[in-house]
Amino acid sequence: MSDLLRPSSASSTAQSAAELLEALRTAAPLTHCITNAVVTGFTANVLLAVGAAPAMVDIVGEAGMFAGAASGLLVNLGTPTPEQRAASLEAVDAATLAGTPWVLDPVAIGVLPVRTSLAGELADRRPTAIRGNASEILALAGMSTGGRGVDATDGTEAALDAARHLARRHGSIVAVSGAVDLLTDGERVLRLSNGDALLTRVTGGGCALGAVMAAFLGTAGATGTGALDAVAGASLVYTIAAEDAAASASGPGSFAVALLDALAAVEPAEVIARAHVEEGAR
Q: State how many domains the chain has.
A: 1
Residue 204, in any domain of the structure: yes
List, for residues 155-191, the tens digit of each pLDDT value: 899 999 999 999 999 999 999 999 999 999 999 999 9
The residue among 110, 180, 117, 92 whose CA lies nearest residue 150 is 110
Burial 7-41 (b: 16+ CB within 10 A, else e): eeebeebbbbbbbbbbbbeebbbbbbbbbbebbbe
Residue 1, in any domain of the structure: no
Residue 221 to residue 107: CA distance in whole angstroms: 27
Output the pLDDT for position 269. Answer: 97
List, for residues 96-115, the tens digit of each pLDDT value: 999 999 999 999 999 899 99
Decide if 136 contacts 104 (C-beta within 8 A).
Answer: no
Residue 170, in any domain of the structure: yes
The total of other beta-carbon atoms located within 10 Å of residue 120's CB is 14
Residue 2, in any domain of the structure: no
Residue 139, in any domain of the structure: yes
Decide if 213 contacts 204 (C-beta within 8 A).
Answer: no
Residue 128, in any domain of the structure: yes
Query: At 229, phi and psi to the nearest 5?
Result: -70, -30
CATH number at residue 266: 3.40.1190.20
Residues flagged as binding site = 56, 131, 177, 204
Residues flagged as binding site for substrate = 56, 204
From first to last of its 282 residues, the chain has per-residue pLDDT tens of 233 334 446 789 999 999 999 999 999 999 999 999 999 999 999 999 999 999 999 999 999 999 999 999 999 999 999 999 999 999 999 999 999 999 999 999 998 999 999 999 999 999 999 999 999 999 999 997 655 555 555 789 999 999 999 999 999 999 999 999 999 999 999 999 999 999 999 999 999 999 999 999 999 999 999 999 999 999 999 999 999 999 999 999 999 999 999 999 999 999 999 999 999 876
Angle at 120 between CA 127 and CA 161, to 5 degrees: 75
Q: Is the dihedral of CA 275, 167, 43, 98 positive or negative?
A: positive
Containing domain of residue 62, as a range? 7-279
Q: What is the pTM of this model?
A: 0.94
Residues flagged as binding site for ATP = 131, 177
Output the pLDDT for position 1. Answer: 27
3-class state of residue 166 by DSSP? helix
3-class state of residue 121 by DSSP? helix
